[in-house]
Amino acid sequence: MTSASTPQISVEELDKKLKSADPFVLLDVREDWELSRARIVDNRFHALPMSRLGREGTVALPPAAKAPQTEILVLCHQGVRSATVADWLKSQGWTNVFSVSGGLEEYARRIDPSVGSY
C-alpha cells in the first residue's frame, strides 16, 4: 500500500523517460528469481533486490544512485515494494525518488510486452 506522500510515476511517464536521454536511475528492487523472468533493458537500469537493500541499507545503492539529489525511479513487480523503498529512500534524505505505479507488470501489459511477465 502506498502512502499519500509516496511520489508516483506512471508507466507511460517511465516509457517517455526510457526513450529520452535524460539521466536517472531505474532501480529494480525485485528479487533475483524475478529478474530472471522479466526485466527492462536500459543502461540506466540497476537491480538491487529489496532483501539486499534491507540488509545493507544505502551502502548497497549503485554508484549512480549515491547522490541524494539523483532522480531514482523505483520499480518492482506491482508497485508495492517500490513504494516502500521510495518512502524509505526519502526518509534517508533522497529528494528525487518516485515509485513506478503498477510496476513491471503494468509496464509489460500497457507499454512493452517483450519485457516479460509472471
Let me know if 76 is a catalytic residue: yes
d(CA 107, CA 79): 11
- Catalytic residue, chosen from 38, 74, 76, 89, is 76
Question: Which residues are identified as catalytic?
Answer: 76
